[in-house]
Amino acid sequence: MRCPVCGALETRVIETRSADEGRVNRRRRECPECQNRFTTYERLEEKNYLWVVKKDGSREAFDRGKLMKGLQRACEKLSVPLERIEEAVSNIESKVRGGGQGEVPTSVIGEYAAEELRKIDKVAYVRFASVYREFTDISSFTNEIAKLLEDKEAHRNGK
């Protein structure tokens, strides 16, 4: 594995852990050249292809990395651990692949992502929802925030 900092070709595995219910190996690595430490994830490459149907009707292969980037963007500058985002992406991917269909609309993936972000961080959820649901004015934001506040109040009152 190449070091992302100095580009050295050889790195050393310091620690290996199983993650995502045994479907992923998480490895902590260290570069002997610059002593940089970083984490890599090793997962089985899926043979059964999953196609994402976009709004315009075009299709593209499901891209876990694209989903990860979207959730990371929503969580930027918030104290959300990378492991929690990775777990959310795994949950979404499991739901999508578990549906047993070869094609899934972006709207379904977007709803799963919004659902996961809502559990993680309310600000990240509103950020994501504003783009995904295409909020066009301030009332769209205030309506979504009002729903979150209602949910919080209901939860506080034990409903």
So where are the chain's domains?
1-44, 47-156
pTM above 0.85, yes or no: no
- The distance of Cα 104 from the centroid of its chain, to the nearest Å, equals 17
Is residue 156 very low, low, confident or very high in pLDDT (cuts 50, 70, 90)? confident
Alpha-carbon gap, residue 125 to 33, rounded angstroms: 40
pLDDT of residue 105: 94
Q: What is the mean pLDDT of residues 73-97?
A: 93
Q: Is 116 exposed, middle or buried (0-12, 13-18, 19+ CB in 10 A)?
A: buried
Q: What crossing angle do the helices spanning 106-120 and 122-132 adopt, rounded to 10°?
A: 160
Query: Which residues neighbour 92 within 8 Å (Cβ) at sequence distance 6 or greater?
Result: 67, 109, 112, 113, 116
Beta strands 24-30 and 51-53, pairing class:
unpaired
What residue type is 93 in one-letter code?
E
Q: What is the mean pLDDT of residues 19-43?
A: 89
The partner residues of 52 in beta bridges, in order of sequence, read 60, 104
Cα-based angle 117, 119, 121 (whole degrees, multiple of 5):
60
What residue type is 33 in one-letter code?
E
pLDDT reading at 34 higher than 90: yes
Share of the chain above pLDDT 70, in %: 96
Which has the higher per-residue pLDDT, 149 or 96? 96
pLDDT of residue 159: 58
Q: What crossing angle do the helices spanning 122-132 and 138-156 adopt, rounded to 10°?
A: 140
pLDDT reading at 134 higher than 90: no
φ/ψ (deg, to 5) at 121: -160, 125
